Amino acid sequence: MDLNILWFILITILYAGFFFLEGFDFGVGILLTSLTRKDVERRAIINTIGPHWDGNEVWLIVAGGATFAAFPHWYATMFSGFYLGFFLLLFALIIRGVAFEFRSKSESPKWRYGWDRAISISSFLAAFLLGVVFTNLVRGVPIDANMQYTGTFFNLLNPISLLGGVTVVLLFCFHGANFLSLKLTEGLRAKAHTNAKMYFTAALVFALGLFAALFFTKSAFSSKGLVTLILPVLAAAAMIVSRVMMGKKHEGWAFICSSLAVVFTVGALFLALFPNVMISSTNAAYHLTIYNASSSPYTLKVMSIVAAIMVPVVLIYQIWTYTVFKKRVKADAKGLTY
Amino acid sequence: MDIVVLSRWQFALTTIYHFFFVPLTLGLGWFVAILETMYVKKGNPMYKRLTKYWGRLFLINYAMGVVTGIVMEFQFGMNWSEYSRFVGDVFGAPLAIEGLLAFFLESTFLGVWIFGWEKISKKLHAAVMWLVAIGGNLSAYWILVANGFMQNPVGYEIVNGRAQMIRIGALLGNPRAILLFLHTFFSGLVTAAFFILGFSIYHLVRNHETEAFKKSFYLSALIGLIATAGVIDIGHLQGIYLRQVQPMAAAASEAHYETADPAAFHLIAGIDQTGRKTTWSITIPKALSMLYFFRPYGEVEGINQIQARYEELYGPGNYIPNVPIAFWTFRVMVGVGFLMAAVMLGALIIALKKFPEKIIKGSGWLVWIILLPYIANTTGWILTETGRQPWVVTGLMQTKDAVSPILTPGTVLISLIGFVLIYGVLMAIDLYLLLKFAKKGLINVEVDSIPIAAVEPTKKHGGK
C-alpha cells in the first residue's frame, strides 16, 4: 500500500471521527430547544456535551489540515469552489462556539433563550451544510483541466445535495438523541428515548432515499456499481439494530450502533470516491485523484510518522475525558457546572 | 475592487481580529496554571478564587480565539487556492501537526478543566491547566513555523512549479520561525500581565479583596517585567535577522532608502513613496549600523538599491512594500514596547514598596494600560505581513498570484461584509462580558457557579 492510499484512509478516518463525535454534539445542539423550555434542563443537556464539543470540533480542523497537507489540490479546489458554503459553515461554527460559552453568562432569560436558539440553529446549519458538501463530493461538480471549479454557488444546491443535507441533520438528531438517552436522567432521559425513536424513522427513510438517489443518478456510486452499496446497507442495518436496542432500553448499545451507522455512512461516501478525491462532472479526465492532487512522498512520509505517534495518544486522552465524565448529568441546579 | 484587494482586506481583518484574542490566551493560561498550582501547594482558598476569577476571563476570551481560528485555516483554501497548491506540501504539514499535537491537547483538556473541578483530584486538575497552557503555546509554535516559511522559506525545493518539502528539520528550526515564536510567547505573557495588572489596579483602587489583588498585581508585575524585557530583546534579534533574510522589509521598517555606511537611524521621518525618498527626518547618525552590528559602522543596504537588485533577480516590477505603514507600525510597536517595560518596572517598585496608599488611590486611570499590548501586538503583525509584500512567500510567490482565480468580487464582498458584521457584534458582546466579570470581582468558592436564572423562560420569546 502506498502512502497516498494510506493518507486517503487516514483522512477518511478523521472525517468519520469528526462525524461520529461532533455528529452527536451537533444533534444535541439541534435538539436543545425542542426538548425542554426549562433553563436547568437545558443546562443539563448542554453539560452532556460541554466537556467534549470543543475537542470534537478539532477533528474537523485536523481533517482540514490533513487534507491541506496531504492533498493540497483537493483542499484548494474544494475550499475555493465551495466558497460560500464554507463561509456559511464558518458562520455557523463561530456562532455555535461562542454560544456555548456565553449562554450562561447572564441571568436574563431572554439572553439565555436567545443563545439557546443560536445553538440550535447553528448546529442545524452546520450539519446541513456538511451534508450538502459531502453529497456534492460524491455526485461530482464542474471542474476544468486546471483543477478549478467552474460552477457557481447554486450548482451546489441541487435537489440531491439538499436531500443529503437534510439526511445528515436527521442522522445527527437520531445519533444525538441516543447520546442524550445515555447521559441524562429521569424525564429528560425518557424524552431522549422518544426522540431517538422518532428521528430513527425519519433518518432511515431519508438515508435510504439519499443512497437510492445517488445510485440511480450520475455519481460515484452509480459509476462503480453495486459494491458501493455494501456500506450503506451496513449503515441502515446498524440504525435498525440501534432502534431495536433502544426499544429494549440498552442505551449503550443503541448509541454504539448509531455511531457505527454514522461511521459507515462516511465510509460509504469515501469508498465511493476512491481513488478520486474530487469528481469532475465536466470530464472524467479532470478528476482529482489521490495521485495528481497529493503532496510529495517526503511530506506524506513525515506526516505518516507524526500521525502514527500522535493519533493513538490523542485517542487515549480523549477516551480518558469520556471516562472522567461518564456519569449521567442530573437536571439539578446544585450539581451543574455553569 | 478586485478579488486580490478584497481577499487581502478579508485576510488582514480576520487575522488581526483573531490575534486580539490569541496573545491573552497564550499568556493567561500560564498565570491561571501558576495560581492553581499555588492553591494546590498552599491550600489557601484565596488562590482557588483567583484561579477561578482569572480562569473565567480566560474562557470568555478563549472562545473567541477558537472560533476565529477556524476561519484562518479555511481561508487559505477559500481565498488563496493558488497559494495552497503552491505551498501545501510544506505549509500544510505544520498546520495539520498543529491540530494533532497541540490544539487537540489544548481544547480536550480545557473541557476537562472547566467541568472537572469536582471529578478529578486537585493535583490532576492543576496539571490539566498546565497542559492547556502548553497546548496553546505549542499551537503558536506550529503556526509560526508555517508563517516563518512565508517570511523566510527553507527546507524546500521547487519541483514542477510547486514548493516541496525536502528537510523537515530545516523547516522546524527556521530561525525566523523560532524568533517569531519566542517573540509571540513573550508577548502573550506581556498581554496577560497587563490584563491582570490593569484589573488588579481597578479593584485595589476600590478596596476590593485587596489581599488577593495585591497578589495578582505582584505576580503580574514580576512576570510582566521579565516578559517585556524578553519581548524587547527577541524583537531586536528579529530585526537583525530580518535585515539578513528580508532586507527589503527591514529597510522599509526604517524608511532607509539609500545604502549607507555608517547608516543613520530615522527617529521619525516624512516619506515620499513615489519619489522613493524621505522628505524630512529627525535622525541619529550611525545609530542604524549600531543597532544592526553593535558598532558605529557597517553598510546597511537601502530600499532603492535592493529594488534595483530585485529587478535584476526577479524581473521588472515594484518590490517595495508600503513604506509608511512599515515605518510607523514599527515605531508604534517599539515605542509601546519601551513604555510597557517602564510601566512594569514602576509596578514592581510599587509592589515591593508594599503598595503605598497615596499612589494606589490616584491610579484608577491606569486601567487603560490593558490596551498597550494590544497596540503593540497588532502593529507588530501589520509590520510583519505588509513588510513582506509584494510577496506571499518571500522570493517565491507574489500575493497577486496566490488568490483563488475562480472567485468573483461579489462573492468575496459577501463574505467580507459577513465577517465584519459578525465580528463587530461578537466583539461588543465579548467586551461586555469581559468587563462585567472583571469588575464583578472574585468568585465565591462555596457558591461555585454563576447563579442560575432566577426566572425560567416560559413565554414564547422568553422575555419579561
Interchain contact A108–B (C-beta under 8 A): yes
Mean of the pLDDT values across residues B4-14?
97
Does the beta-carbon distance from B60 to A102 stay under 8 Å? yes
At B278 the three-state DSSP class reads strand
Interchain contact B293–A (C-beta under 8 A): no
Determine the Cα–Cα distance for residues A100 and B63; give it in Å rounded to an integer: 9
Determine the Cα–Cα distance for residues B451 and A106; give it in Å rounded to an integer: 9
pLDDT greater than 60 at residue B297: yes
Angstroms from A29 CA to nearest CA on chain B: 17
pLDDT greater than 50 at residue B448: no
Mean of the pLDDT values across residues A190-199?
94
User: What residue in B sits closest to A62 (Cα-Cα)?
Assistant: B99
pLDDT class of B143 with cuts at 50, 70, 90: very high
Does the beta-carbon distance from B85 to A68 stay under 8 Å? no
DSSP string, A276-300: EEE-BSS-GGG-EETTTT---HHHH
Does the beta-carbon distance from A317 to B109 stay under 8 Å? yes
**Which residues on chain B are in Cβ contact (under 8 Å) with A70?**
92, 96
Stretch 152-181 of chain A: residues touching chain B, C-beta under 8 Å: 153
β partners of residue B159: B162
Ramachandran assignment for B384, one of left (phi > 0), alpha (psi -120 to 50 degrees), beta (any other): alpha
Mean of the pLDDT values across residues A86-109?
94
At B269 the three-state DSSP class reads strand
Evaluate whether B111 touches A54 at the Cβ level (below 8 Å): yes
Does the beta-carbon distance from B93 to A303 stay under 8 Å? yes
pLDDT class of A338 with cuts at 50, 70, 90: low
Interchain contact A142–B (C-beta under 8 A): no
Classify burial at A282, counting beta carbons within 10 Å of its beta carbon; exposed 0-12, middle 13-18, buried 19 or more: middle
A 10 A CB-CB count for B316 gives 8
Which pLDDT belongs to residue A86? 96
Interchain contact A65–B (C-beta under 8 A): yes
At A324 the three-state DSSP class reads helix
Does the beta-carbon distance from B449 to A325 stay under 8 Å? no
At A141 the three-state DSSP class reads strand
**Which residues on chain A are in Cβ contact (under 8 Å) with B115?**
47, 50-51, 325, 337
Determine the Cα–Cα distance for residues B279 and B447; give it in Å rounded to an integer: 64
Q: Which helix (H) or strand (E) holds A224?
A: helix A220-224
Mean of the pLDDT values across residues B188-213?
95
Q: Which of B67, B81, B93 sits opposite A299 (nearest CB)?
A: B93
pLDDT class of A149 with cuts at 50, 70, 90: very high
Check residue A147 and report its DSSP letter: S
Helix %, strand %, coil % for chain A, to 5?
Answer: 80, 5, 20
pLDDT greater than 90 at residue B429: yes
pTM of the model: 0.94
Does the beta-carbon distance from A112 to B457 stay under 8 Å? yes
Evaluate whether B392 touches B399 at the Cβ level (below 8 Å): yes
The one-letter code for the residue type at A317 is: Y
Interchain contact B164–A (C-beta under 8 A): yes
Which pLDDT belongs to residue A84? 96
Mean of the pLDDT values across residues B44-62?
94
pLDDT in tens, B87-103: 999 999 999 999 999 99
Mean of the pLDDT values across residues B262-281?
95
Among B189, B177, B287, B175, which residue's Cα sits nearest to residue B229?
Answer: B189
Interchain contact A274–B (C-beta under 8 A): no
Interchain contact B19–A (C-beta under 8 A): no
Does the beta-carbon distance from A314 to B100 stay under 8 Å? yes
Among A64, A70, A57, which residue's Cα sits nearest to residue A86?
Answer: A64
**Which residues on chain A are in Cβ contact (under 8 Å) with B462?**
109-110, 112-114
Interchain contact B237–A (C-beta under 8 A): no
Does the beta-carbon distance from B166 to A298 stay under 8 Å? yes
Which pLDDT belongs to residue A331? 85
Which pLDDT belongs to residue A107? 87
Mean of the pLDDT values across residues B240-263?
96
Does the beta-carbon distance from B108 to A318 stay under 8 Å? yes
The ranges assigned to domains in chain A are 3-326
The ranges assigned to domains in chain B are 3-246+321-440, 249-320
Determine the Cα–Cα distance for residues A231 and A111; give it in Å rounded to an integer: 44
Residue with the three cell numbers 489583588: B213
A 10 A CB-CB count for B352 gives 11
Does the beta-carbon distance from A65 to B92 stay under 8 Å? yes
Does the beta-carbon distance from A336 to B97 stay under 8 Å? no
A 10 A CB-CB count for A37 gives 17
Interchain contact B455–A (C-beta under 8 A): yes
**Which residues on chain A are in Cβ contact (under 8 Å) with B458?**
37
Among B329, B393, B328, which residue's Cα sits nearest to residue B91?
Answer: B393
3-state secondary structure B153-190: CCCEEEECCEEEECCHHHHHCCHHHHHHHHHHHHHHHH
pLDDT greater than 50 at residue B462: no
pLDDT greater than 90 at residue B361: no
Stretch 341-400 of chain B: residues touching chain A, C-beta under 8 Å: none
DSSP string, B355-422: --HHHHHTTGGGGGGGHHHHHHHHHHHHHHHHHTTTEEETTTEEHHHHS-TT--HHHHHHHHHHHHHH
Classify burial at B400, counting beta carbons within 10 Å of its beta carbon; exposed 0-12, middle 13-18, buried 19 or more: middle
Determine the Cα–Cα distance for residues B37 and A107; give it in Å rounded to an integer: 31
Interchain contact B445–A (C-beta under 8 A): no
Q: Which of A61, A110, A336 sits opposite B463 (nearest CB)?
A: A110
Interchain contact B401–A (C-beta under 8 A): no
Which pLDDT belongs to residue B374? 98
* Mean pLDDT taken over chain A: 94
pLDDT greater than 80 at residue A186: yes
Q: Strand A288-289 vs strand A276-278: parallel, antiparallel, or unpaired?
A: antiparallel
Q: Which of A53, A75, A307 sits opposite B77 (nearest CB)?
A: A75
Mean of the pLDDT values across residues B415-423?
96
Which pLDDT belongs to residue A228? 87
Angstroms from A211 CA to nearest CA on chain B: 29
pLDDT in tens, A28-70: 999 999 999 999 999 999 999 999 999 999 999 999 999 999 9
Does the beta-carbon distance from A94 to B159 stay under 8 Å? no
Q: Which of B81, B101, B415 sits opposite A87 (nearest CB)?
A: B415
Angstroms from A52 CA to nearest CA on chain B: 6
Which pLDDT belongs to residue A145? 94
Which pLDDT belongs to residue B445? 58
* Mean pLDDT taken over chain B: 93
Determine the Cα–Cα distance for residues B212 and B209; give it in Å rounded to an integer: 6
pLDDT in tens, B170-186: 999 999 999 999 999 99
A 10 A CB-CB count for A58 gives 26
Does the beta-carbon distance from B116 to A53 stay under 8 Å? no
pLDDT class of B464 with cuts at 50, 70, 90: very low
Does the beta-carbon distance from B116 to A324 stay under 8 Å? yes
Determine the Cα–Cα distance for residues B355 and B193; give it in Å rounded to an integer: 18
Interchain contact B85–A (C-beta under 8 A): yes
pLDDT in tens, B107-127: 999 999 999 998 999 999 999
pLDDT greater than 50 at residue B47: yes
pLDDT greater than 60 at residue B413: yes
Whole-number percent of chain A with pLDDT over 70: 99
Angstroms from A113 CA to nearest CA on chain B: 6
How far apart, in Å, are the Cα atoms of B350 and each of B46, B221, B323, B369?
Answer: 22, 9, 40, 16
Check residue B443 and report its DSSP letter: P
pLDDT greater than 50 at residue B451: no
Q: Which of A57, A79, A307 sits opposite B74 (nearest CB)?
A: A79
Does the beta-carbon distance from A105 to B433 stay under 8 Å? yes
pLDDT in tens, A196-218: 999 999 999 999 999 999 999 99
At A265 the three-state DSSP class reads helix
**Which residues on chain B are in Cβ contact (under 8 Å) with A83?**
78, 404, 407, 411, 415
pLDDT greater than 60 at residue B447: no
